[in-house]
Chains A and B, each alone.
Chain A
Amino acid sequence: MSQHVVQADDDAPMGRTYSLVIACHIAVIAILWWIGRTFSV
């Protein structure tokens, strides 16, 4: 069985990326809600 050799960027902090994912997802949901309201009326 191979043992993974830890590379330099293995533990680079990812907190900002995760925050960006969540923020973008919330924005996409908001845009979809707006599209639904605008075109369904």
Chain B
Amino acid sequence: MRLLDWLVVAGYLLWIVVDGLRRTKASTGVEGYLLANRSLPWWAVGLSVMATQLSAITLVGTTGQAYADGMRFIQFYFGLPFAMVILSVTLVPFFYRSGVYTAYEYLERRFDVKTRTLASFLFLFGRSMSTGAIISAPAVILSIMFHWNLTLTILAIGGPTILYTMLGGVQAVTWTDVKQMAIVVGGLVCAVLFLILGLPDEVSVGQALHVAGAAGRMNTIDFHFDPKQTYTFWSGVIGGLFLHLSYFGCDQSQVQRYLTAKSLNQARHSLLMSAFVKIPLQILVLMVGVFMFLFYVFNRPPMLFNTEHTAKVEQSARAGDYHALESDFARVYEQRKTAATTMATVEGPAHETAREAFRAATAEMSAIRGRAALIVKDVTGVANYGDKTGDTPKPDVNYVFPTFVTTQLPQGLVGLIIAAIFAAAMSATAGELSATATATVIDVYKRLLNKSESDAHYLLFSRLAVAFWGLVACVVAHVAVQLGSLIEVVNRIGSIFYGSLLGVFVLALTVRRANGHGAFIGLLSGILFVMAFAYNPGTRSVSYLWHNPIGVVVVMVVGTAVSLMTKPQPARDA
């Protein structure tokens, strides 16, 4: 990073913190602090909804995913617009009209306090872990790329976010989200334009996309029904529908966003904004990856992108083997570049011959990368170097975009993209901190521990809760680096809750006879069943997207059965 890049990043951080702190005056009471007095316009809430979902790992990981595996990831979002419509018709009016602060508060009104408390604790456990991962993932990558101190990088992301969220509340979160989304989208558009302008003069955008297609990077839709595949049309539409219903309907980090809207229909519009914009935004993210692939077709890529591990190999006894592979890689790369240029500029049989040569060279480069990754695995002991995403070693995928940014982009644009990575991490973190603080204050402190304090007392406690969860996130982010795969396990457990949580809300809305015992036992049964399903050797290969519909079904069946076997619940105003 050069001086101009540092100035851009520093300017961004200063702008966001000052803007966030300006909102402090508007957050005078608990409702103002946690729900912005239900005063925000739909477009700001809608951008905040998307900013909360889009973390830095989406920005860095999804571009790398498209580089390695193409556009098929887009199918993950095919259920989202349907989910938004269903939620706008069902859960959003219930939440909004009942005046709740948290989604789980509604569960007490419909069932009982134990169901609410269990749901809220599941949310707090899952989110406190995942917020650590949201901070740690970009911090690790940035610290490796720029040789920054890891602890300072975590604090550079977490510190300002805690400060403006703690003082400015949900108003600060929402209005900084709006600006952070602008920076993220601006950075992505600049990256795509730079990549398109960087194509060779003789290769048009259309011809380049045909080259990407020959390497499988333009495979957008796969209609095969295979539960083991995560990115197919059917897993996206059905599994994705349930996942997005759970995320936007039962996760406080999203429910809190649309409860801040100034009316019910504005809350609905904020969700429907994602239905319109989310897929085009993801296409933009994925196109950055596809055009990076094309960039590295016409410009030599590194054999492996993660330089931290290759440096260790250089100092090991396997350095000779590794250098031999690098020579092979350079030779095959030149063959591929020639084939790609021919393919893009020539028609007829020569085009077909060049296409086959391009595909063969791409496969050979992938094989060489695989052998290089195995050397790294032997030297460093990093187990997942044996795994691949598409044709790229798995640990390399998250380093493709940062490597491209730091080695190819001009001064100033590097700073903008780094600011965009910070913006994505901070906006997702701020939403989570605000939501975990709300659940802590409303579902735990005020409901279970201290019911009759003043508004000022709960406001102070809310601010302390933001600071507490912010510090927890920073500590988890730091520990996550050492724990490695354990944090993945924790996040996987978090994804196991989702379908079952949705199941409780579906039970509440659709089964009139359902009672508190049924909901509580149904929720526990759903979680245990999905956990057993996810870790059973016979079924563990089924994509996690299918865990959500399974969780819903188990909660519905068990919850209804237990409700029928137990005493009916007295009528409540749900």
**A21→B85 contact, CB < 8 A:** yes
**A32→B265 contact, CB < 8 A:** no
Complex interface: chain B residues within 8 A of A1 (CB): 99-101
A21, A35, A41: the one contacting B220 at CB < 8 Å is: A35
Complex interface: chain B residues within 8 A of A35 (CB): 71, 218, 220
Complex interface: chain A residues within 8 A of B262 (CB): 7
Given contacts A17-B272, A24-B276, contact A36 B220 (CB under 8 A): yes
**Any A CB within 8 A of the CB of B505:** no
B residues 71-104 in Cβ contact with A at 8 Å: 71, 74, 78, 81-82, 84-85, 88-89, 96-101
Complex interface: chain B residues within 8 A of A2 (CB): 31, 35, 99
**Any A CB within 8 A of the CB of B244:** no
Complex interface: chain B residues within 8 A of A22 (CB): 81-82, 85
A residues 12-40 in Cβ contact with B at 8 Å: 12, 14, 17-18, 21-22, 24-25, 28-29, 32-33, 35-36, 38-40
Complex interface: chain A residues within 8 A of B101 (CB): 1
Smallest distance from the beta carbon of B241 to chain A beta carbons, Å? 12
B residues 110-131 in Cβ contact with A at 8 Å: none
A3, A8, A24, A40: the one contacting B213 at CB < 8 Å is: A40
**Any A CB within 8 A of the CB of B275:** yes
**A33→B220 contact, CB < 8 A:** yes
**B268→A14 contact, CB < 8 A:** yes
**B82→A25 contact, CB < 8 A:** yes
Smallest distance from the beta carbon of A37 to chain B beta carbons, Å? 9
**A10→B264 contact, CB < 8 A:** yes
Smallest distance from the beta carbon of A13 to chain B beta carbons, Å? 10
The answer for the CA separation of A18 and B269 in the assembled complex, in Å, is 10
**B88→A4 contact, CB < 8 A:** no
The answer for the CA separation of A6 and B98 in the assembled complex, in Å, is 11
**A28→B279 contact, CB < 8 A:** yes
The answer for the CA separation of A6 and B263 in the assembled complex, in Å, is 7
The answer for the CA separation of A14 and B218 in the assembled complex, in Å, is 36
The answer for the CA separation of A12 and B218 in the assembled complex, in Å, is 41
**A36→B84 contact, CB < 8 A:** no
**B209→A39 contact, CB < 8 A:** yes
Smallest distance from the beta carbon of A11 to chain B beta carbons, Å? 8
**Any A CB within 8 A of the CB of B38:** yes
The answer for the CA separation of A9 and B31 in the assembled complex, in Å, is 22
Smallest distance from the beta carbon of A12 to chain B beta carbons, Å? 5
**B219→A4 contact, CB < 8 A:** no
B residues 123-151 in Cβ contact with A at 8 Å: none
**B213→A41 contact, CB < 8 A:** yes
**Any A CB within 8 A of the CB of B212:** yes
B residues 272-302 in Cβ contact with A at 8 Å: 272, 275-276, 279-280, 283
**Any A CB within 8 A of the CB of B492:** no
The answer for the CA separation of A7 and B267 in the assembled complex, in Å, is 12
**A14→B88 contact, CB < 8 A:** yes
Complex interface: chain A residues within 8 A of B97 (CB): 4, 6
The answer for the CA separation of A40 and B66 in the assembled complex, in Å, is 15
Complex interface: chain B residues within 8 A of A41 (CB): 213
Complex interface: chain A residues within 8 A of B268 (CB): 14
B residues 209-258 in Cβ contact with A at 8 Å: 209-210, 212-214, 216, 218-221
B residues 180-212 in Cβ contact with A at 8 Å: 209-210, 212
Q: Which residue of B lies closest to A9 (CB)?
A: B265
Complex interface: chain A residues within 8 A of B283 (CB): 32
Complex interface: chain B residues within 8 A of A6 (CB): 97, 264
**A7→B263 contact, CB < 8 A:** yes
Given contacts A10-B264, A40-B213, A40-B219, contact A29 B85 (CB under 8 A): no
Smallest distance from the beta carbon of A5 to chain B beta carbons, Å? 9
**A32→B74 contact, CB < 8 A:** yes
4 A-B pairs besides A2-B35, A21-B275, A40-B219 with CB distance below 8 A are A21-B84, A25-B279, A33-B220, A39-B210
30 pairs of residues in contact across A and B, judged by CB atoms under 8 Å: A2-B35, A4-B97, A4-B99, A6-B264, A7-B262, A7-B263, A7-B264, A8-B263, A9-B264, A9-B265, A11-B264, A14-B268, A17-B272, A18-B85, A18-B88, A18-B89, A18-B272, A21-B275, A22-B85, A25-B78, A29-B78, A32-B220, A33-B220, A35-B218, A36-B218, A36-B220, A38-B213, A39-B209, A39-B213, A40-B218
Which 6 pairs, one residue from A and one from B, show the smallest C-beta to C-beta distance? A36-B220, A39-B213, A39-B218, A7-B263, A25-B81, A40-B213
